[in-house]
Amino acid sequence: MRERITDILLESIQVKEELLRTGITKIKEIAELIIDCLKKNGKVILFGNGGSAADSQHIAAELVGRFKKDRTALAALALTTNTSVLTSLGNDYGYEVIFSKQIEALGQKNDVCIGISTSGKAKNVALGLKQANKMGIKTVALTGGDGGEIAKLADTSLIVPSSVTARVQEAHITIGHIICELVEQQLCQV
């Protein structure tokens, strides 16, 4: 077990070291998009499936509540939390539209939509990004592997350099925390 634990930790470190070499510019770009969005009274809309749904909720909570500072709430929401909306859309239209329909209803010009998918292949995330693009909303993709279709759909894509789901998810939440800190630092001078 000790050997396996060591291997897992080293693999996680290696992914983050590669992200350090290749991802700083993209992380900065995403943070700047969000800062600009919030300055213009837009909101951050996040969505994904499974662990990516949890990451969406986690990042939204950090922005609405606080990351490190007690401050004014920042506008953010995860499209994965309203079970009545999710189940009615899934039942009436199909699971593929659970994010696109919500973006159609809630999205506005100054918002930023962040689609999260470890593989970049989630159809409902792709449709959500397509809907946001159709509405002129800035889009961000957080993916892994080769980025899949989702990376091609977003205005800005950050592809974590791994195809191991757990390592991609670990990197996504690290990226989310970095972005929350940068946003809070720029917008909340307390």
Q: Which residue has the higher pLDDT, 188 or 90?
A: 90
- Of the pLDDT bands very low, low, confident and very high (cuts 50, 70, 90), residue 81 is very high
51: nearest Cα among 156, 183, 164: 164
> Could you report the per-residue pLDDT of 137-182, keeping only the tens digit for each?
999 999 999 999 999 999 999 999 999 999 999 999 999 999 999 9
Domain of residue 144: give its range.
Answer: 2-187
**The pLDDT value given to residue 168:** 97
> Could you report the per-residue pLDDT of 97-141, keeping only the tens digit for each?
999 999 999 999 999 999 999 999 999 999 999 999 999 999 999
pLDDT at 6 over 80: yes
Q: How far apart are CA 99 and CA 51, in angstroms?
A: 16
Task: Retrieve residue 75's tokens.
Answer: 């506008």
- Of the pLDDT bands very low, low, confident and very high (cuts 50, 70, 90), residue 16 is very high
SS3 166: helix
**The pLDDT value given to residue 190:** 53
β-sheet with 138-143: strand ranges across: 76-78, 44-48, 112-116, 138-143, 156-159
Q: What is the CATH number of the domain that holds 59?
A: 3.40.50.10490
Q: The tokens 């500072």 sit on which residue?
A: 69
pLDDT at 5 over 60: yes
The pTM of the full predicted model, rounded to 2 decimals, is: 0.96
Q: What is the mean pLDDT of the chain?
A: 96
**The pLDDT value given to residue 96:** 97
**The pLDDT value given to residue 69:** 87
> Could you report the per-residue pLDDT of 22-77, keeping only the tens digit for each?
999 999 999 999 999 999 999 999 999 999 999 999 999 999 999 998 899 999 99
- Asked whether the beta carbons of 27 and 175 are under 8 A apart, the reply is yes
**The pLDDT value given to residue 48:** 98
Total number of domains constituting the chain:
1
- Asked whether the beta carbons of 111 and 137 are under 8 A apart, the reply is yes
Task: Retrieve residue 76's tokens.
Answer: 């953010």
**First vs last C-alpha separation in the chain:** 46
Of how many residues is the chain composed?
190
